[in-house]
Structure 1
Amino acid sequence: MTQSLLERLSPTNRVLKRAQYEAFAFSLYDGDVLVRNESHLRPADHEYRVTIVDGIPTTCECPADKRFDGPCKHRTALAIRPTILDVATQMQLVADGGVTTEKISTEPRDNTDIQECDCQYLNDNFLCWECVKTGRRELPE
């Protein structure tokens, strides 16, 4: 039986609880993920780069990840949010020249697909993740 990512990382209960209830913001950064803790008074002072290798948050720049055994709350926060890990992994593939196996149209399939689309709320013709994931639209080259 294969272990889940969370089982492989094996965070302490304290770290797992903090990863669940603290207000984290995530952004892609050069193939990795910046994790910002919005729960702090100065969130910019609590932003750390988490390195992703093969879909696993392996290291974090925060002091706790270096000091303690086991993953920090930033790595754990990513582990419990598989969609964010999937996006980071896909972006690494694109950045590394990964090959897609199927050509996806940039046009919506039909009007019913547009009803649940968030692309209209994004600036500069960015695409929402749902459109990219479901194949409704393709990332620009």
Structure 2
Amino acid sequence: MSKRNLPQAAEPTHPLSRLAFTKRVAKRAQYEAFEFTIVPEGVRVRNGSHANPEEHEYLVRVAGGIPATCTCPADARFDGACKHRVAVVIRAPILDAANRQVVADGGVETSAGRANHQQGESVDEDDGCETCLEEFPCWECVRTGVRALPE
């Protein structure tokens, strides 16, 4: 009996691993008071940490399942993703909602979908869930106290 080389399914790539960003950006994306609104163009992100939040509101466009661009000055000025793009990608419900598309044949919604805690996923308190990266936990694991942000 000969062995066959069967194609193996590719491992899903966590959207966060597809963005380049600094540790400083990652921390700010976690702790600043962002407010998210799903709009047809993407996700409107308002930073409630500022005295005048309405002056700190930007549009994050999602393409290919990741936050691709942001209208903030930092996204244009610096290499890597800005804190607004990282803030969207680490909050699975926001990214999933931004990935939803209305289909022309009657308005059926589809989603890129990802495993998350609301789908009954078991979470290892040492490693977190399958959406956590080794060096950076997902928002749900941080929010629920399963994992802490790296120093």
With normalisation by structure 2, the TM-score equals 0.60
What is the rounded CA distance, in whole Å, between the counterparts of 2:99 and 2:70 in structure 1? 16
What is the rounded CA distance, in whole Å, between the counterparts of 1:6 and 1:85 in structure 2? 11
CA RMSD of aligned residues (A): 2.0
Q: Which residue of 2 aligns with 1:62?
A: 72
Q: Which residue of 2 aligns with 1:51?
A: 61
Q: Which residue of 1 aligns with 2:140?
A: none
2:48 paired residue among 38, 48, 71: 38
Shift of 1:2: 4.6
Would you tell me which structure has more helix in proportion to its own residues?
1
Q: Which residue of 2 aligns with 1:97?
A: 104
**One-letter code of the match for 2:47?**
N
Kept after mapping to 1: 8 A contact 2:15/2:65? no
Q: How many residues are treated as equivalent by the alignment?
A: 99
With normalisation by structure 1, the TM-score equals 0.64
Unaligned runs of 5+ in 1: 103-141
Moved over 6 A (4+): none
Identity across matched positions, percent: 52
- 1:111-140 CA-to-partner distances (Å, cap 9, x unmatched) read xxxxxxxxxxxxxxxxxxxxxxxxxxxxxx
What is the rounded CA distance, in whole Å, between the counterparts of 1:25 and 1:65 in structure 2? 18
The question of 1:6 aligning with 2:16 is answered yes
Shift of 1:41: 0.2
